[in-house]
């Protein structure tokens, strides 16, 4: 038995899966791996890492907080 991995763009994913699932060939099994979840986790980690640098430029946290409250 051989294994083939395909990287499929979201726009054509359903078409390709429809084709593969409807091939009535003996010895063919289709197993899906959901890589989208991993990608989302990586994006969240990147956003969290970027957000930690936002406050690096604040010299006086109390003064900054006071200005934020005045805007409300």
> What is the reported pTM?
0.44
DSSP single-letter state for residue 42: H
What is the tens place of the pLDDT at every residue in 43-67? 787 777 776 667 778 888 899 899 8
Burial class (CB in 10 A: 0-12, 13-18, 19+), 65: exposed
What is the tens place of the pLDDT at every residue in 17-47? 899 989 988 888 888 877 666 677 777 877 7
Region of 27 on the Ramachandran plot (φ > 0 left; ψ -120 to 50 alpha; else beta): left
């Amino acid at each position: 038995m051989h294994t083939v991995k395909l990287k499929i763009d979201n726009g054509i994913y359903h078409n390709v899966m429809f084709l593969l699932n409807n091939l009535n060939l003996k010895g063919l099994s289709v197993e899906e791996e959901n890589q989208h979840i991993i990608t989302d986790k990586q994006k969240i980690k990147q956003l969290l890492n970027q957000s930690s640098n936002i406050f690096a430029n604040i010299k006086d946290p109390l003064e900054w907080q006071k200005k934020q409250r005045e805007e409300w």
